[in-house]
Amino acid sequence: MCRWPLLLLWGLLPRAAAGGSGGPFPHRTLLDSEGKYWLSWGPRGGRLAFRLEVRTAGYVGFGFSPTGAMAAADIVVGGVARGRPYLQESTVRVIWAYHHEDVGEAGPKYHESNRGTKSLRLLNPEKTNVLSTAVPYFDLVNQNGFSYPPHVGLSLGTPLDPHYVLLEVHYDNPTYKEGLIDNSGLRLFYTADIRKYDAGVIEAGLWVSLFHTIPPGLPDFRSEGHCTLECLEEALEAEKPSGIHVFAVLLHAHLAGRGIRLRHFRKGEEMRLLAYDDDFDFNFQEFQYLKEEQTILPGDNLITECRYNTKDRARMTWGGLSTRNEMCLSYLLYYPRINLTRCASIPDIMEQLQFIGVKEIYRPVTTWPFIIKSPKQYKNLSFMDAMNKFKWTKKEGLAFNKLVLSLPVNVRCSKTDNAEWSIQGMTALPPDIERPYRAEPLVCGASSTSLHGNARLELLLGFVALGGALSLRSVRP
């Protein structure tokens, strides 16, 4: 039987009537009642191709649905803004299924285990192939590896370089499933062809500790980790007053994480986001290549902003290493390398405890977590037990969130080999944001008129219906 890859092309037609040209497609129909949305389709070079022609100045959506509703549909959304095409930039989930038999009269048979889902970032810039075609190499399962830009590399052999490589794997098996086999590993490619700049890594965000607290039962709780002006100023002034250039970012949270943004500020003004993922998926974490390198100067500050959903949790969520704990971190790849490995913060815990009514703790602190002395309702409880005993409502959770975001923070500012910059341990206030960043609205301007005729925006989606004819009927998930 023939196999039909599927090709989707669409054009945004700001002026021309969308019913103008049928092109090479044998089938054509009008989808709306105003003559603005035309769909054409037919075989093209071994593919089943669809073309959308839409007269609009905004976005276009298209998908396949078993019922005509958006629920359970496969949908793509895109458009043209300021003369440039765009697609959704956050993580998206791709679903797939196939069967070894053709579709019968009763419809497609159940795909059994031949189905799955995978999260992707469709608009990550192309990765540069730095390996010779003569060098054999293999990608790790579920990970396509990472390549530095042509002018940047990870140096080896200098006094500031690592002396060894440590692979640390965290195993999470809450159901105690037996018989699991691990095949984790690293493959590094070394070259004596020295690149122009040595790369560095900065961990920015919330210091991983129990002082990172998230109440239960909240659909949207926000945490912020500060890479403070004071830390960046001290490190950059001493090492690179002209600044460093960020070219990739990894955003990291755990299972309650729903969105992460790395915000960049300069003299009270918010710059363009360094990186973001508003649809964070814990099972899909990789470095985002920046479309354009961004410079960080002395006096700048960064905020890693994380959103969490704890609606299904009855107890507090704490910062920690377990996947049932949480993190809020960004890892910045940059050049040229400076002696700064961590730029983070810890919110004040005592003011958090005062919110639930704690008045005094036992001092000196000799146990961890430390113990509360008063009031009576919390006496001799650890601060973790006291936070769990408090009756959290949605109203209390929102008020607590507002408080935490305004608290002074303890600065973490670390060098290599566990050395510290002098600002380490000092207290700083969250920055005053005088001018928040506002992205330009996504509307088509005069430049989009260049999309007439053959200069169409073409977005490609492909799939292969393996082993049989293409069917647009629903497949049981």
Residue 50 in any domain: the answer is yes
Whether 107 and 239 map to the same domain: the answer is no
Checking if the pLDDT of 447 tops 60, the result is no
Least confident of 53-57, 85-89, 113-117, 211-215: 113-117
Whether 112 and 207 map to the same domain: the answer is no
Whether 289 and 326 map to the same domain: the answer is yes
Whether 117 and 238 map to the same domain: the answer is no
Residue 70 in any domain: the answer is yes
Whether 219 and 163 map to the same domain: the answer is yes
More confident residue, 64 or 196: 196
Give the pairing of strands 244-252 and 288-296. antiparallel
More confident residue, 7 or 367: 367
CA neighbor of 307 nearest in space, from 343, 259, 354, 339: 259
How sure is the predictor about 357, in pLDDT bands with cuts at 50, 70 and 90?
very high
The arithmetic mean of pLDDT across residues 359-387, rounded, is: 94
Query: Letter for the amino acid at 408?
Result: P
Give the pairing of strands 27-30 and 60-64. unpaired
CA neighbours within 13 Å on the CB side: how many for 445? 8
Whether 307 and 237 map to the same domain: the answer is yes
Query: Residue 49 CA to chain centroid, in angstroms?
Result: 32
Neighbours of 409 (CB within 10 A): 22
Residue 471 in any domain: the answer is no
Q: Which residues have C-beta within 8 Å of that of residue 282, sequence separation ≥ 6?
A: 253, 254, 255, 257, 323
Count how many domains the chain has.
2
In angstroms, the CA 297 to CA 301 distance is 9
Whether 71 and 148 map to the same domain: the answer is no
More confident residue, 14 or 467: 14
Residue 284 in any domain: the answer is yes
Which ranges of 186-227 would DSSP assign to H, the alpha helix? none
pLDDT digits (tens, 9 = 90+) for 203-236: 999 999 999 999 999 999 999 999 999 999 999 9
Whether 158 and 21 map to the same domain: the answer is no
Whether 160 and 308 map to the same domain: the answer is yes
Residue 17 in any domain: the answer is yes
Could you tell me which residues are beta bridge partners of residue 437?
none
Whether 216 and 276 map to the same domain: the answer is yes
Which ranges of 251-361 would DSSP assign to H, the alpha helix? 349-355
Residue 367 in any domain: the answer is no
In which domain, by residue range, is 322 found? 124-128+142-169+188-347+414-423
Residue 337 in any domain: the answer is yes
Checking if the pLDDT of 291 tops 70, the result is yes
How sure is the predictor about 433, in pLDDT bands with cuts at 50, 70 and 90?
confident
CA neighbor of 273 nearest in space, from 336, 200, 332, 335: 332
Whether 76 and 202 map to the same domain: the answer is no
What token pair was written down for 184? 């984790």
The CATH number of the domain holding residue 229 is 2.60.120.230
Could you tell me which residues are beta bridge partners of residue 372?
361
In angstroms, the CA 468 to CA 98 distance is 10
Whether 195 and 276 map to the same domain: the answer is yes
Residue 324 in any domain: the answer is yes
